[in-house]
Structure 1
Amino acid sequence: MRRLALNPDRFAVADCLVHQPPIRMVERLLAIDDHRARCALTVRDNNPFIDARNELPGWVGVELMAQAIALFAGYHCLLRDEAVRVGYLLGSRQYSCHTSAFGVGSELLIEIEQEYHNEGMGLFYCRILHGDTELASARLNTYQAPLSNE
């Protein structure tokens, strides 16, 4: 992914998301522009989804991708001086995960790219990487409700 143009440090991650700990898993916004974002997190042993083997199951990758999209959307709400709004994951297309689990201590990179957006409906291509290795990918369909005064 080439260099993205907006300042990722302009807003705190916590201010861009309606998710609260311990469900909020995305920790850092590394890069963002009008159509893409790159986020990161460290898999922690206090994550509520950690299983009996002390791993984060691969299926949680869809939630990580959704949170990266929410962070992207929340950032752009704040950029427009709007309140951060709830978004909805409507479905996924072709979720492919090349690992059964993400190990505790793993540094994960989540890249999202908006392929379509119209009247709150969005389609995003998403990837989860560990270093240069792609661990999961999907296309996610989302909906963000309009401002309550619209």
Structure 2
Amino acid sequence: MNVPLTCPITAVAPLLPHSGRMVLLDSITDYGEQHLTATATVGPDHILLQNNRLPCFLGMEIMAQGIGALTGCHARNAGRPVRLGFLLGTRKLDLFADSIPVHTRLLVKVRESVMDATGFGVFDCSLYWTDAPENEKHTLPADGLLAQASLNVYSPHQNNQDNQAV
């Protein structure tokens, strides 16, 4: 039997079907059956930067990786391999900033809303900033909320052994 992962989890890459610079999460600070909280940093070499800033709409990829990390935690705890998942789209996307400056620390929260037996799921997600360069804080929402969305995801079954999404 596998020993369940305990937080904080700083080795996030093994829980995602990504590698190298495409791993956008720094750590997982909390997770459970239907939720996960993680941190991320917008570094100067962040793969999604445009004009030295992260467009807020690309925060969807960070939120999607939160979903993938949750599924990866469950797979790892069950002794299964991490599976590939797909971000199908979003609904109810609300953006509260245009872009996010380099050196901003982020907090991502995901919560399962719907999961079906085919591998389709919907997750309610939010992205917050927790720290930013002093000269950039005025460009960010005072309450910290950068984006929230319901993300539609899909993870095809492999040998019909499990029914988890991304």
State if a TM-score over 0.5 links the two structures.
Answer: yes
* Partners of 1:133 and 1:48 in 2: CA distance: 23
Q: Secondary structure at the match of 2:30?
A: strand
More strand by share: 1
Q: Does 1:125 align with 2:136?
A: no
**Which range is displaced more, 107-116 or 13-22?**
13-22
* Partners of 1:149 and 1:96 in 2: CA distance: 35
**Aligned-partner residue type, residue 14 of structure 2:** D
Q: Secondary structure at the match of 2:83?
A: coil
Q: Does 1:144 align with 2:155?
A: yes
1:149 shift after superposition: 6.4
Alignment of 1:37-52 (within 5 A): 37-52=36-51
| Unaligned stretches of 5+ residues in structure 1 | 1-5
* Partners of 1:31 and 1:23 in 2: CA distance: 21
Of structures 1 and 2, the larger Rg is shown by 2
Output the TM-score relative to the length of structure 2.
Answer: 0.81
**Aligned-partner residue type, residue 87 of structure 2:** L
Q: Does the C-alpha gap of structure 1 residues 84 and 91 become closer, same or farther in structure 2, counting only changes over 3 Å?
A: same
* Partners of 2:17 and 2:43 in 1: CA distance: 20
**Aligned-partner residue type, residue 154 of structure 2:** Y
User: For this pair of structures, how many residues does the alignment match?
Assistant: 144
Q: Does 1:73 align with 2:84?
A: no
The equivalent of 1:57 in structure 2 is: 55
1:47-96 CA distance string (max 9 Å, x none): 122112x1111111111111110111111111110000001111101111
1:24 shift after superposition: 1.3
1:147 shift after superposition: 2.3
Between the aligned residues of both structures, percent identity stands at 28
Output the TM-score relative to the length of structure 1.
Answer: 0.89
CA-atom RMSD in angstroms: 1.6
Contact 2:9 2:27 in 1 (8 A): no
| Unaligned stretches of 5+ residues in structure 2 | 131-142, 162-166
The equivalent of 2:138 in structure 1 is: none
